[in-house]
A and B are shown apart, each in its own frame.
Chain A
Amino acid sequence: MNNRIEKRIELQAPVSRVWRALTDYREFGEWFRVKLDGPFVAGQVSCGQITYPGYEHVKWETLVQKMEPERLFSFTSHPYSVDPKIDYSKETPTLVEFRLEKTASGTLLLLTESGFDKIPSDRRLEAFRMNDGGWTEQMKNIEKHVAQTS
C-alpha cells in the first residue's frame, strides 16, 4: 500500500526562480498561503499563521530539515494541526521534500510527503471531519480567486 504522496510538475521557469519561490519565506507564503514570522533556516523551526480562507486560525509550525541550494528543500510538519487544545508536538510529523531538476524548458519539481503511517488514525479522521463541508466552500474561493486574477 502506498503511504506517501508524490507529485511531479513541470514549471516554465528557471531552477533559480523556483528555488526562490520555495525558500524565500515571503514568496513561499504567497503561494502556500501562510504568513511566516521569518526566513527558513535549516535545523530551525519556522512559525507562522495560515492565511488560507477558512483556516486562518491554523498555526504553521515546521522544522526545516535540508536546504541544498537549487536542489533540495525539506521540512517536517504535523498535518492539519488545527485543534489548539491538542499537543501535536508529541506526534511523529510527516516529511515534505521538494526536489528540483533542470529541464530543457525550465524546472521539474518533485514533491513527496511521507510518514503518514505514523499519524494516529483518529487524527486522520479528524482532518476529514474538519474538512467535511468546508472543502466545497474552499473550492469556490479558489475559483473566485482564479477568475479575478486571470
Chain B
Amino acid sequence: MSHKRHSSMAGKRQRRAPVFAALADETRLSLVAKLCGGQPHSISQLTEGSKLTRQAITKHLRALESVGIVHSVRAGRESRFEFDPEPMIGIKEYLDFVSKQWDQALSKLKSFVEN
C-alpha cells in the first residue's frame, strides 16, 4: 500500500455508513452497473428503462452518494452522477486481508491436527 493511497484512505475515516449495506439492493446495484463504465449520467438517463420514478432513483443515488460510491457533478442546469470505485476497493482489500489471516490460521490448524 503506497503512502498516497494510505493518506487518502485516512481522509475517508469520517464515512461511517457501510458500503456493503448501500450495495445490498438490486436497484442500487443496477445503477452502479450503469455508472461503472466511467461516463457520468443524469437522473433522466438513469431513470430511462426503469420502472421507478425519478424521485425513487434519486433516493437510491443519494444512498450511494452517502458512502462515496457515486458523486454528483454539476453539468449546466442538471446534476450528473459519476462512479467512484475507491470505497469498493477499500472493502475488497479489507476482505483480502482478513482472508489471508484465515489462510494462515487454517494452515496452522492443518499441521496441528495432522501431526
- A residues neighboring B (CB under 8 Å): 1-3, 5, 7, 9, 11-13, 17-18, 21-22, 27, 30-33, 79, 109, 111, 113, 116-122, 124-129, 131-132, 135, 142
**Alpha-carbon separation in the docked complex, A108 to B82 (Å):** 45
Determine whether the beta carbon of A122 is less than 8 Å from that of B18: no
Q: How far is the CB of B15 from chain A (nearest CB, A)?
A: 5
Determine whether the beta carbon of A9 is less than 8 Å from that of B106: yes
Q: How far is the CB of A124 from chain B (nearest CB, A)?
A: 4
SS class, residues of chain A in contact with chain B: helix
- B residues neighboring A (CB under 8 Å): 1, 6, 9-10, 12-21, 23-24, 29, 67, 87-88, 90-91, 93-95, 97-99, 102-106, 108-110, 112-114
Instruction: Give the nearest-CB partner of A149 in chain B.
Output: B111
**Alpha-carbon separation in the docked complex, A18 to B106 (Å):** 11
Determine whether the beta carbon of A121 is less than 8 Å from that of B112: no
**Alpha-carbon separation in the docked complex, A113 to B105 (Å):** 13
Determine whether the beta carbon of B113 is less than 8 Å from that of A21: yes
Most buried by A among B14, B16, B106: B106
